[in-house]
C-alpha cells in the first residue's frame, strides 16, 4: 500500500523552525539532533500514520523522545496533515484553531 502524502500546515512548519532556531542559539549539536529527530518523526508518521494513538478528537500525535515536542496530525482521505509541532509544556491545544 502506498502511503498518503504528508503535508505541514504553514504554522506547523513555523513551530518547527522556531524550535530549531531556539536550539541553534543554545547549541548547534542540539539543533542538529532536533532536526534529525523531527525528520525521522515525519517519515515515521508518513509511513504509518495510523500507528500512533488518537490524542484529541480525530487527531493523533507522535512524541519526539529526546525533545519536548509532539507532531500533531490528522489522517485525511488524500493526505496526512500535520497541524502542529507542539511543545509539550507550553500552551496546550493552541493549535486547535488551525483546523
C-alpha 80: how far from chain center: 11
Domain residue extents for the chain: 6-88
Residue 94 has pLDDT above 70, yes or no: no
Query: Which residues share a beta bridge with 34?
Result: none
- Rounded distance, CA 46 to CA 49, Å? 6
pLDDT digits (tens, 9 = 90+) for 12-45: 999 999 999 999 999 999 999 999 999 999 999 9
- CATH class of domain segment(s) 6-88: alpha beta
Is this structure's pTM higher than 0.85? yes
Q: What local confidence, expressed as pLDDT, does residue 38 receive?
A: 96
How buried is residue 82: exposed, middle or buried, by Cβ count under 10 Å (0-12/13-18/19+)?
buried
Looking up cell 478528537 gives 57
Cβ atoms 94, 86 nearer than 8 A: yes
Residue 90 has pLDDT above 80, yes or no: no
Amino acid at each position: 500500500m502506498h502511503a498518503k502524502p504528508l503535508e505541514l500546515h504553514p504554522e506547523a512548519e513555523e513551530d518547527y523552525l522556531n524550535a530549531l532556531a531556539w536550539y541553534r542559539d543554545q547549541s548547534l549539536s542540539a539543533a542538529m539532533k532536533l532536526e534529525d529527530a523531527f525528520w525521522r518523526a515525519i517519515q515515521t508518521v508518513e509511513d504509518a500514520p495510523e500507528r500512533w494513538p488518537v490524542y484529541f478528537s480525530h487527531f493523533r500525535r507522535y512524541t519526539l523522545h529526546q525533545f519536548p515536542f509532539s507532531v500533531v496530525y490528522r489522517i485525511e482521505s488524500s493526505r496526512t496533515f500535520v497541524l502542529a509541532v507542539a511543545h509539550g509544556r507550553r500552551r496546550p491545544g493552541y493549535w486547535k484553531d488551525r483546523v
